[in-house]
Amino acid sequence: MIWDSKKSVILSIICTRAVIVFAVAVAAILPWLVSSGFFADSAFRIQDAVVAKLMPIYYVACAPVLAALFHVNALLTAIRAGRVFVGANVRYLRVISWCCFVAAAVFLVGARGSLALIFIAAAAAFAGLLLRVVKNVIQAGVELKDEHDYTI
Amino acid sequence: MAINVNIDIMMARRKISAGELSERIGITPANLSILKNNKARAIRFSTLEALCRELGCQPGDILSFEEE
């Protein structure tokens, strides 16, 4: 099979949708997993108290994360359709970037001294910052494309 | 925009349709419409040259400057 950019975009869309399904499924069955002792018995041996502390953070963070994932899906769908340097993609990237910052804030507030959560918050904030740069690049691309399209 | 494109005036004087002009100068009717409606950001010298040739006029007859 010859790998090309179209197949790469399709793979990204599949991965994004799989992550959406996984995040929603985990949110749906998380209380049951905790009550059944899944985490305590798993290879990670996470204590129930720790899981109980993380559960509300997961649910609060789920909103911006799912919003970001749906926008990533929309962005990839537009790229697949050949619409790359368009205003809608700039908006998608802006929303995704802000979702990362909101998720970072949720993890930072919920961290309460937990170094792992502070690291996750820092990673989310860094991702948000990088996405802002990508958004600025796409925005400049949109302006260049407009200039080109309207040069007769 | 401060620069106005007055192709429609010249087209009316020369009694030439948009479809015919776009065909003669080698641009699409959609692009000619962008020019006519002052939506264009820039005009290539090659396009201006073709317009002047086909309309039998000078660049100043097609383009005008207006204080904003």
pLDDT at A149 over 80: yes
Domain holding A34, by residue range, is 5-149
pLDDT at A6: 86
**Residue B41 touches chain A, beta carbons under 8 Å:** yes
Nearest CA distance, A142 vs chain B (angstrom):
14
Domains and CATH numbers, chain B: 3-59 (1.10.260.40)
B42 to A146: CB separation less than 8 angstroms, yes or no: no
Confidence bin at A8 (pLDDT 50/70/90) = very high
CB contacts, 8 Å: A147 with chain B = 41-42
pLDDT range class, residue A94, cuts 50, 70, 90:
very high
The CA distance from B51 to B18, in Å, is 12
Is the CB of B39 less than 8 angstroms away from the CB of A150?
Answer: yes
Q: Is the pLDDT of residue A88 over 70?
A: yes
Identify the pLDDT of residue A69: 96
Residues with Cβ within 8 Å of A118's Cβ and at least 6 positions away in sequence, in order, are A107, A108, A111
Judge whether B19 and B49 are in contact, CB under 8 Å. no
Q: Confidence band (pLDDT; 50, 70, 90) for A131?
A: very high
Residue of B nearest to A151 (CA): B42
Searching chain A, which residue's CA lies closest to the CA of residue B28?
A152
* Token duo for residue B7: 């192709």
- Contact status, residue A13 vs residue A74, Cβ threshold 8 Å: no
The pLDDT tens digits of the residues spanning B11-56 come to 998 899 999 999 999 999 999 999 998 889 899 999 999 999 999 9
Q: Do B47 and A152 touch (CB under 8 A)?
A: yes
Chain A residues with CB under 8 Å of B7 CB are none
What percent of chain A has a predicted confidence (pLDDT) above 70? 98
Least CB–CB distance from A150: residue in B27, B32, B34:
B34
Report pLDDT digits (tens) over A57-76: 989 999 999 999 999 999 99
Which of A16-20, A44-48, A87-91, A103-107 shows the lowest per-residue confidence on average (mean pLDDT)? A44-48
Smallest CA–CA distance from B22 into chain A, residue: A152
Quote the pLDDT of residue B45.
94
**ipTM rounded to 2 decimals:** 0.77
Give the mean pLDDT of A94-105: 96
Q: Give which of B61, B50, B66 is closest to B7, Cα–Cα.
A: B61
The model's confidence at residue A1, banded by pLDDT at 50, 70 and 90, is low
Residue of B41, B43, B44 to mutate, interface with A, max A Cβ within 10 Å? B41
B44 touches chain A (CB under 8 A): yes
CA dihedral A10, A11, A14, A15 (to 10 degrees): -140
Residue of A nearest to B31 (CA): A152
List the one residue out of A25, A34, A37 whose CA is nearest residue A55. A34
Number of Cβ within a 10 Å radius of residue A25: 10
pTM of the model: 0.78
Q: How many domains does chain A divide into?
A: 1
